[in-house]
């Protein structure tokens, strides 16, 4: 597996892949790899001939009070995991090559970035859309694979790629969960033992909604109440939002007719860790 730092070298390698008739799949990550990331690599390998993983902790998607400095960066073990999972190359650019001092261009996706996580993380999706478009331009992948856990990110990237005519297919991989049901996340390492136990109720809440939906319940208020009831037993888990929204517009729904995204964000009271999770009912992202 090649480890590449410079964007021009990455572009040249991907050009070689394509010249050799190999389709290229891109798995964008910020490192601190877990089973969830590795499932994205597996999906890429199922669809494409060559897989490039980017590992870059993107400073412009972190707010001033967020964990950019302390975000885990176990680069060597990440490369070992990426290689064992079958990546052909890791692209790990230097911050100065991605954002030189005279850098001035950003991607703003309107409307769908101000809701859900965007409401409490202003500028986050501008940072995500910008770096992902840069990766698309450097790697020119036929397919880019994202995890459903970051559901709003998936919707934003799909919108951006369609609006800006980027010739890439966005594939969405299912959420990978720990045994307890907790969605895998690089930030789970921040959780205290007690928070870890209580945070498993987040998925139990989502399952309760799914059960009600299967029985015919379509009123958003009633479905949301079911999650609230389950989380009542988790005093260390403080809800930031519990929303039921349209899967394309991310606008809240009063009643579910087609597909709906049930999205939740929680703040842990002790470690202040922010966790997100979701399920999609009646369709897919
Ligand atoms: O999901 C992530 O890890 C990041 O938001 C991404 C897509 C790699 C952009 O920095």
The pLDDT assigned to 46 comes to 98
| 3-state SS class at 25 | strand
Nearest CA among 212, 208, 259, 260 for reference residue 233: 208
Atom of ligand 1 nearest to the CA of 29: 8
What angle, rounded to 10 degrees, do the helices at 75-85 and 35-47 form?
40
The DSSP 8-state label assigned to residue 190 in this structure reads G
Residue owning the nearest CA to atom 1 of ligand 1: 29
Q: Determine the distance separating the centroid of ligand 1 and the alpha carbon of 30, expressed in angstroms.
A: 6
Q: Determine the distance separating the centroid of ligand 1 and the alpha carbon of 279, expressed in angstroms.
A: 20
pLDDT per residue, tens digit, the chain (285 aa), is 999 999 999 999 999 999 999 999 999 999 999 999 999 999 999 999 999 999 999 999 999 999 999 999 999 999 999 999 999 999 999 999 999 999 999 999 999 999 999 999 999 999 999 999 999 999 999 999 999 999 999 999 999 999 999 999 999 999 999 999 999 999 999 999 999 999 999 999 999 999 999 999 999 999 999 999 999 999 999 999 999 999 999 999 999 999 999 999 999 999 999 999 999 999 999
Distance of CA 149 to the CA centre of its chain: 6
Query: Is ligand 1 within 6 A of the CB of residue 276?
Result: no
Number of neighbouring beta carbons within 10 Å of residue 119 = 13
Task: Write out pLDDT tens, residues 233-279.
Answer: 999 999 999 999 999 999 999 999 999 999 999 999 999 999 999 99
Report pTM: 0.97
Task: Write out pLDDT tens, residues 39-75.
Answer: 999 999 999 999 999 999 999 999 999 999 999 999 9
Query: Is ligand 1 within 6 A of the CB of residue 150?
Result: yes
CB 88 within 8 A of CB 52: yes
**C-alpha distances in angstroms, 85 versus 29, 45, 46, 140, 258?**
14, 9, 12, 21, 36
CB 234 within 8 A of CB 198: yes
d(CA 64, CA 190): 19
**230 Cβ partners below 8 Å, 6+ apart?**
201, 204, 205, 208
Q: In testing the pocket of ligand 1, which one of 99, 132, 134 has its CB within 8 Å of the most ligand atoms?
A: 132
The pLDDT assigned to 91 comes to 99
Q: Determine the distance separating the centroid of ligand 1 and the alpha carbon of 133, expressed in angstroms.
A: 11
């Amino acid at each position: 597996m090649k480890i590449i730092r410079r964007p021009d070298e990455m572009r040249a390698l991907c050009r070689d892949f394509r010249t050799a008739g190999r389709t290229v799949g891109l798995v964008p990550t910020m490192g601190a790899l877990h089973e969830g990331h590795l499932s994205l690599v597996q999906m890429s390998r199922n669809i494409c001939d060559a897989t490039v993983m980017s590992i870059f902790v993107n400073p412009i998607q972190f707010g001033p009070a967020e964990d950019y400095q302390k975000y885990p960066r176990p680069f060597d073990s990440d490369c070992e995991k990426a290689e064992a999972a079958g990546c052909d190359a890791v692209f790990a650019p230097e911050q100065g090559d991605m954002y030189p001092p005279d850098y001035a261009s950003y991607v703003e996706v309107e409307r769908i970035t101000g809701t859900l996580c965007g409401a409490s993380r202003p500028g986050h999706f501008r940072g995500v859309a910008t770096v992902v478009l840069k990766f698309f331009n450097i790697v020119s992948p036929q397919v880019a694979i994202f995890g459903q856990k970051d559901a709003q990110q998936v919707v934003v990237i799909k919108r951006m790629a369609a609006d800006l005519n980027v010739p890439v297919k966005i594939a969405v991989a299912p959420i990978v969960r720990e045994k307890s049901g907790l969605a895998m996340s690089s930030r789970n390492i921040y959780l205290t033992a007690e928070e870890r136990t209580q945070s498993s109720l987040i998925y139990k809440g989502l399952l309760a909604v799914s059960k009600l939906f299967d029985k015919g319940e379509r009123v958003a208020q009633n479905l949301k109440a079911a999650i609230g009831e389950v989380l009542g037993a988790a005093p260390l888990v403080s809800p930031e939002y519990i929303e039921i929204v349209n899967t394309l517009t991310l606008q809240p729904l009063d009643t579910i007719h087609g597909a709906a995204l049930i999205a939740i964000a929680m703040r842990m009271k002790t470690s202040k860790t922010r966790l997100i999770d979701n399920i999609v009912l009646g369709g897919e992202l």
